[in-house]
Amino acid sequence: EAGVAQSPRYKIIEKRQSVAFWCNPISGHATLYWYQQILGQGPKLLIQFQNNGVVDDSQLPKDRFSAERLKGVDSTLKIQPAKLEDSAVYLCASSLDGGGNTGELFFGEGSRLTVL
């Protein structure tokens, strides 16, 4: 079974530039999550999709961050314009139906963003 795929693995940009990250979840997984992990901290949920609808985006800085999940499969997270404090690893995860009764989160390897 293929895992959660993310790209790019690494990205370096200057502040005020834009960047986009892509995630392809495990086939059949209805729920997709984007987390931001700043160095030395635990992951923070940015946005959660159930199929192609948003379940929770309360911690997404909507003035600069956007995300979409077209057709309920893969997803793109965009940052525009980037700030220095956006330097982090962006983790994508998926789960079968978002409920704890089915099991766990499956994580991709992450996309590491450095903003200069």
Partner 1 sequence: AQSVTQPDIHITVSEGASLELRCNYSYGATPYLFWYVQSPGQGLQLLLKYFSGDTLVQGIKGFEAEFKRSQSSFNLRKPSVHWSDAAEYFCLLTAYTGNQFYFGTGTSLTVIP
Which of 83, 39, 32 has its CA nearest to residue 61?
83
| Location of structure tokens 């200069």 | 116
Q: Extract the tokens encoding 113.
A: 């963003």
Report strand pairing: 88-95 vs 106-107: antiparallel
> At its nearest, how many Å lie between partner 1 and the CB of residue 98?
3
CB nearer to partner 1: pick between 4 and 60: 4
CB nearer to partner 1: pick between 24 and 31: 31
Cis peptide before 61 (omega within 30 of 0): no
The distance of Cα 61 from the centroid of its chain, to the nearest Å, equals 13
Classified as helix, coil or strand, 13 is strand
For residues 80 and 9, give the distance between their C-alpha atoms in angstroms, rounded to a whole number. Answer: 19
CB nearer to partner 1: pick between 17 and 73: 73
> At its nearest, how many Å lie between partner 1 and the CB of residue 1?
14
Q: Which residues contact partner 1 (rule: CB under 8 A)?
A: 4, 31, 33, 41-43, 45, 48, 50, 55-56, 91, 93, 95, 97-101, 103-110, 112
> At its nearest, how many Å lie between partner 1 and the CB of residue 42?
4
> At its nearest, how many Å lie between partner 1 and the CB of residue 107?
4
CB nearer to partner 1: pick between 27 and 41: 41
